[in-house]
Amino acid sequence: MSFEIFIAAVMLVALMIYALTGGADFGGGVWDLLARGPRELQQRKLISQAIAPIWEANHVWLIVVIVLLFTAFPLAFAAIMTALNIPLTLMLIGIVLRGAAFAFRAYGIQSEEARRTWERVFAIASVYTPVMLGVTLGATISDAIRVDPATGEMLVNFWEAWLRPFPFVVGLLVLALFAFLAAVYLTVEAKGQPELQEDFRRRGLGTAVVVGGLAFVALLLARNGAPRIFTGLTGHWWSIPIQVVTGLAAVGAMWALWQRRYALARMLAAAQAGLMVAGFGLALLPYIVPPDLTLLDTAAPRSVLLPVSIVLVVGLLLIGPAFWWLYTIFKGQQHEDHPSQSSLPTETK
């Protein structure tokens, strides 16, 4: 395996992990915004308990993707950051606002009115940030970013590449997928609280249908909006098998939710989301920014790729166990705490 393929594979795996961890955190913010009914406060407490221990650490995987793109594929990095400057800036603002709002809401000593303001900021940022992430991904794979490979000159302006139907449908698909993951994960987090489990079970079933519908619409729009992705998802030897397995995971997750087998539902939902990301990544090969930039043409020199690959292997050997240890310690400690010790303040009377 060449160095550029190895690094690209690590980027894809890191993006999958980010979707399964950080994406579910964003989805929790969606359900925080939509919390309703007699258990509204309990729903928000559960979401806060689930997110609080490791939400900062989950962004490590997105940072890994960005740093590797910048280091190993500098021309592709420049093209994406230039053509998609607006949605990327909006996404970064959303990430910052969401993190700040979560911290101020949970730990600040403030009035009830101020807490509710930060609550709204957190929820709204949790909704629009995944959409901008999806718009960025959709525009990147849609043949809309045109670059002169010889000079690196951009052939599109700041608007042309992303103000199209396909990127926004991908944005909505990412939002729905994150909300689905969060709902399924929260059924497990609510162990011992059957009423809350039922709340998120129903939401998981509903968003599963939305994810399926948006995935179908995205595939239809890809025929004209992202032709290389459409061909990749339908024309390779692996295309039908991976779509069948993804569909089986999706149906299995819905069946497990219906049967209230929440641990199995979580495993199958994660498999579904991971396979969706993997399918898009495989369909993109050999391009990194179609139709002008391939992995081979935009890769940095071997003198850069070799040390990056070595550092990457060593780093992942350190980050992986450390991340798992962090997750085990903080999530384990969280489940030992009494529910009333949630970091989200209780409602004032």
> Nearest 5°: phi and psi at 289?
-135, 90
Res 337 pLDDT > 60: no
pLDDT at 153: 79
User: Within 10 A of 237 (CB to CB), how many other CB atoms are there?
Assistant: 6
The answer to which of 128-142, 245-259, 261-275, 320-334 has the lowest mean pLDDT is 320-334
Q: Of 73-77, 110-114, 202-206, 223-227, which gets the smallest average pLDDT? A: 110-114
Q: Does residue 78 lie in a domain region? A: yes
Find out whether 327 and 54 touch, Cβ atoms under 8 Å.
yes
Which token pair is 295? 């992995």
pLDDT over 70, % of the chain: 92
Whether 349 maps to a domain, the answer reads: no
Domain of 136? 3-341
Compute CA distances 315 → 67, 78, 188, 308, 312, whole Å. 13, 25, 31, 10, 5
Question: What phi and psi, each to the nearest 5 degrees, are found at residue 230?
Answer: -60, -45
Among 50-54, 93-97, 256-260, 342-346, the minimum mean pLDDT is found in 342-346
**Structure confidence at residue 149 (pLDDT):** 73
Residue 13 has pLDDT above 50, yes or no: yes
Query: What is residue 102's predicted lDDT score, i.e. its pLDDT?
Result: 82
For residue 168, the one-letter residue type is F
pLDDT class of 184 with cuts at 50, 70, 90: very high
* Confidence band of 347 (pLDDT split at 50, 70, 90): very low
Q: What is the pLDDT of residue 53?
A: 62
CB-based contact 59:95 (threshold 8 Å):
yes
Tokens of 109: 């000593």
pLDDT > 90 fraction of the chain, expressed in percent and rounded: 56
- Averaged pLDDT score across all residues of the chain: 87
Band (pLDDT 50/70/90 cuts) for residue 256 is very high
- Residue 119, amino acid: E
How many domains would you assign to the chain?
1
Q: In this structure, are residues 84 and 120 in contact, taking their beta carbons and an 8 Å threshold?
A: no
Tell me, yes or no, whether 297 lies in a domain: yes
Amino acid found at 79: A
First to last CA, the chain: 63
Q: Dihedral of the CA atoms 256, 257, 260, 265 (nearest 10)? A: 60
**Residue 34 located in a structural domain:** yes
- Whether residue 56 has pLDDT greater than 80: no
Is pLDDT at 335 greater than 60 in this prediction? no
Model pTM score: 0.89
When pLDDT is cut at 50, 70 and 90, the band that residue 346 belongs to is very low
Query: For residue 109, what pLDDT band results from cuts at 50, 70 and 90?
Result: low
pLDDT for the residue 244 = 93
348 in a structural domain: no
pLDDT for res 246 = 94
Report yes or no on 171 lying in a domain: yes
Counting Cβ atoms within 10 Å, is residue 236 exposed (0-12), middle (13-18) or buried (19+)? middle
Q: Report yes or no on 346 lying in a domain.
A: no
Tell me, yes or no, whether 43 lies in a domain. yes
- Cβ contacts of residue 201 below 8 Å, gap of 6+? 183, 187, 257, 260, 262
- Report which of 192, 178, 134 is spatially closest to residue 269, judged by C-alpha positions: 178
Is residue 349 very low, low, confident or very high in pLDDT (cuts 50, 70, 90)? Answer: very low
Tokens 């990147």 belong to residue: 140
Measured over the CA atoms of residue 233, residue 234, residue 240 and residue 244, the dihedral's sign is positive
DSSP string covering 98-127, please? HHHHHHHHHH----HHHHHHHHHHHHHHHH
**Looking at residue 334, what is its pLDDT?**
55
